[in-house]
Amino acid sequence: MSERLQPGDVAPAFTLPDADGNEVSLSDHKGRKVIVYFYPAALTPGCTKQACDFTDNLQLLASAGYDVIGVSPDAPEKLAKFRDKESLRITLLADPEKTVTESYGAYGEKKNYGKTYLGVIRSTIIIDEEGKISHALYNVRATGHVAKLIKDLGI
């Protein structure tokens, strides 16, 4: 189980493949604010809703200086299928080893229907232009999360 990040922490650096297999690093976004969100699986109802909400609000978020990156344990091929099927315009990164997911505290014990298991905890981490965590939100809901985020960030 990994430690959850706190505001003020330095965001762990990462480089992961995107849906097309190209390497994307957090450092590529230096000088911009970045919303990194972790979700359990592409092509599932909740994750699709959340990804579509981010895509629908991408213009608004970008105009406020935010880049959006979604991270899941899916392979790049599955992410490409997800992106194409749902017309997603956000960056989707593959973390099959869950190393980045763990370093951001977004992997751990979950409960579902009375069973406890290890999995991706739906989380949203907001990183400022300096590479520090400004918000660390864990166990977020897929539905309505993006609207709440926009409100909380004052966008």
Dist. CA 25–CA 125, nearest whole Å: 15
Reported as a pLDDT band with limits 50, 70 and 90, residue 113 is confident
Going from the C-alpha of 3 to that of each of 42, 104, 106, 107, 138, the distances in angstroms are 25, 8, 9, 9, 12
Span 9-27, pLDDT tens digits? 999 999 999 999 999 999 9
Span 64-74, pLDDT tens digits? 999 999 999 99
- What residue segments make up the domains of the chain, in order of their start? 15-152
CATH class of 15-152: alpha beta
Please tell me the predicted confidence (pLDDT) of residue 62. 96
Active-site residue, from 36, 47, 125, 146: 47
Span 38-91, pLDDT tens digits? 999 999 999 999 999 999 999 999 999 999 999 999 999 999 999 999 999 999
Dist. CA 101–CA 95, nearest whole Å: 7
Please tell me the predicted confidence (pLDDT) of residue 79. 98
Q: What's the pTM?
A: 0.95
Question: Does the annotation mark 47 as catalytic?
Answer: yes
The residues facing 29 across adjacent strands are none
